[in-house]
Chain A
Amino acid sequence: MENILGTNLDRVVILAYFAIVMGFGAYFGKYSKTTSDYFFGGRRFAWWLITISIVATGIGSHSFVKYSTKAYQYGFSSTMTYMNDWFFMPLFLFGWLPIIYYLRLGSIPEYFEKRFSREARYIATFMILMYMIGYIAIQFLTLATALYKIYGIPLMLTVVLIAIATTVYMHFGGQTSVIFTDLIQGFILIFAGILIFSLGLNYLAENTSYSSGLKALWDNLSPQEKLPLANFNDPPDFNFVGIFWQDGVAGSIGFLFLNQGLIMRFMAARSVNEGRKAAAFNVLFILPVSAIVVSNAGWIGKAISNSIPGALPLDLAPNDVFVSVANLIAAPGIFGFVIAALCAALMSTSDTLVNASSSVIINDVYRPLTNNKSSDKEQLRLARLASVLVKVIAVCLVPFFNSFESIYEAHGWFHSTFTPPLVVGVFLGIFWKRFTSSAVIATFIVGAFLMILGQMYPSLISPFSHGIELRPDRGYSYIGALYNLFVCAGVGVLVTFFTKPNPESKLVGLTVFDVHKLKNIFKGSKPNEDKGQAVNVSWDLKEFDEDIISFSKQEMKLMKAKEGDLVYLQDSRWWLGGLKSIHSIFGKPHNQNGVVYINKSHLESGMFEHGLFLKGEKEM
């Protein structure tokens, strides 16, 4: 082991960080009593809580290394992939999100069974699990590569230690632990990224003739490095058009429509509208900030190389830019904190994916195979075991991904290989009623076969290459996604025209054409769309056999609610973000103003406290 980086203080900071996060996550285990709590956090959280926790999910440990590398090589165009997700937002916010939320889907494969067939569900399950577990393995590998340089522990042992550490809090807490640890880690990630940026600008100002670090950065990057989009079709390993199809199209649809971890986060929102707010805020504000957070070490590194010769090694490998720049500009302890942020990125992304994977294993493998006969308690126990199993498999896959030339390449291979058949399947499923069950299976199987052919014979991809150079022995990289999307969609469309579609009666609520009916399906009766006020009330217990709560007539009037409407009741302290809350149904009103009656089950689920007010809102 050569060039061990950092000081003992840095190592202590990193270990302390791991301990704090594990304790924090384990604490929230008490909020997971059922599989619904474990996987979806009880569908009760506010949009801002979901948004911040998404930050930590979107920024993986590989992000810092991968984007700093590209930022060092190509400048501001490293931000491209964080700023091309808006094009599919209309379809996501008003098409897919209401479908998954109101149909109470437990997983993406479950949609495939409802929309197509059980066979389609099993194939989708296999592909999604492969994708997620591989992704977790890449996260482990990235962080282990960084920690290996700091602690000098063998790489695979580092991977195992990281897997054990993340298991501790995930194992007991499930989605609630994931959301709350991701909340704190989201803040830490953004803070650490901005800290590196400030320290880097300060370093530039102190070590060059410029009085402003920003001016030093701008003037020490070439005009090409200041462009926000890469060159159209050159070089082969980083060009605009290839990355547009691989990330902007396949990646964006995959992220918004198929990322089980992200979908579960939106399902944990207390309403579809809160989910929309979280998604829009994330793409409009958080992603641009994240782009700066993950890339700036590369820009700073490039400006330092151009303006202060010798400050960074002349033979610096682009993959080492993040750690080297952080080590150069940060004082002992601060460097440890920055690496702890890298740990935060790993833990928050992998915990989301592990929770999502165990959700898929229980929802899409165990429940269908056992006809859902076991108790919820038993399923919760199995979900926890499944999350351990997922980590074991991910650890075993690490050596495979370590054989790729770079983490960027391994990650790109994932997107272009696993997402196109699923993207085409889910997209045509939602937006084309005629799309058949046989067609989706053909998309998965024949599409995958044609994709493999494309990898073996790159000349098949040439008509889609937009002039990108074909690299001998390495083929096309990103633009392969366009070919993959084309062949999968082609197979799907072709087979559809030769097979019989499902009757319309079996598609109710499953396509964008029925989104306007979904509230009705969700509620079981006509939704009440009258806009009322929220009310603050004290609470008391009453014996209700059914899932109903009772407000006074006056408060019902203020909320414009009727008996049978859906209600959301939460602790009135806004900063809890819905942690202590329940969904229920309005029962028969009473005459005692300022009091809501709930039953014991509501109290246990909402964990309400005596003497504190609750805020009630009519949902629909």
Chain B
Amino acid sequence: MTFSQTWLPFIYLYGVGGIAFLLGTLLIYKTKALRINYESHKKWFWVLFYGYFFYASVHALFIYLAIGSSY
């Protein structure tokens, strides 16, 4: 399998998508829409990052397993 079948889509997804995610998080933080000093908002802050890494981990795991699999 080639790089464009395996890791390139992953890098593009979490690179370009990651820029949108980080810019969005930064914007809500800077505008005080998200206030880290509020206990409930602090939990949401971690949930947001958990979601990003959760999806990245699932995709990475399946790519890794597919590369090592036989048919």
Q: Which residues of A contact B (CB under 8 A)?
A: 76, 83-84, 86-91, 93-95, 98, 218-219, 221-224, 226-234, 240-241, 244, 248-249, 273, 276, 280, 283-284, 288, 431, 512-513, 515-516, 529
Contact = CB atoms under 8 A, between A and B. Distances in A.
Given A223-B1, A223-B66, A228 B59 contact: yes
A283 B66 CA distance: 25
26 contacts: A83-B55, A84-B13, A86-B51, A87-B52, A90-B21, A90-B25, A90-B28, A90-B34, A93-B48, A223-B1, A223-B66, A224-B1, A224-B66, A226-B62, A227-B66, A228-B63, A229-B10, A232-B12, A244-B9, A244-B17, A248-B17, A283-B51, A284-B54, A512-B31, A515-B31, A516-B31
A390 B40 CA distance: 41
A240 B27 contact: no
Interface string B23-46: 011011001111100101000100
A276 to B, nearest CB: 7
A516 B32 contact: yes
A223 B69 contact: yes
Contacts of A515: 28, 31-33
Given A232-B12, A240-B9, A431-B27, 4 more contacts: A95-B27, A224-B1, A226-B69, A231-B5
Interface in B48-68: 48, 51-52, 54-55, 58-59, 62-63, 65-67
Q: Which has the most chain A C-beta neighbours within 10 Å: B38, B55, B63, B70? A: B55
Contacts of A223: 1, 66-67, 69-71
Contacts, number: 128
B41 to A, nearest CB: 8
Contacts of A91: 24, 27-28
Q: Which 5 A-B pairs have the closest CB atoms?
A: A515-B33, A226-B66, A229-B9, A240-B9, A90-B24
A175 B28 CA distance: 31
A28 B66 CA distance: 48
A234 to B, nearest CB: 8
Interface of B: 1, 4-6, 8-10, 12-13, 16-18, 20-21, 24-25, 27-28, 31-35, 38, 40, 44, 47-48, 51-52, 54-55, 58-59, 62-63, 65-67, 69-71
A230 B62 CA distance: 12
B62 A227 contact: yes
B11 to A, nearest CB: 10
Contacts of B1: 223-224, 227
A248 B13 contact: yes
Given A93-B44, A226-B69, A283-B51, A86 B21 contact: yes
A226 B58 contact: no
B31 to A, nearest CB: 5
B35 A516 contact: yes
Contacts of A513: 31
Contacts of B13: 84, 229, 240, 244, 248
Given A226-B62, A512-B33, A87 B17 contact: yes
A515 B41 CA distance: 13
A235 to B, nearest CB: 12
A442 B62 CA distance: 44
Contact of B33 (A95, A249, A288): A95
A602 to B, nearest CB: 28
Given A90-B25, A273-B40, A244 B16 contact: yes
Contacts of A233: 4
A244 B12 contact: yes
A88 B20 contact: yes
A358 B8 CA distance: 44
Given A244-B16, A280-B47, A229 B40 contact: no
Nearest to B71: A222
Nearest to A280: B47
B27 A512 contact: yes
B59 A229 contact: yes
Contact of B62 (A88, A95, A228, A244): A228
Nearest to B28: A94
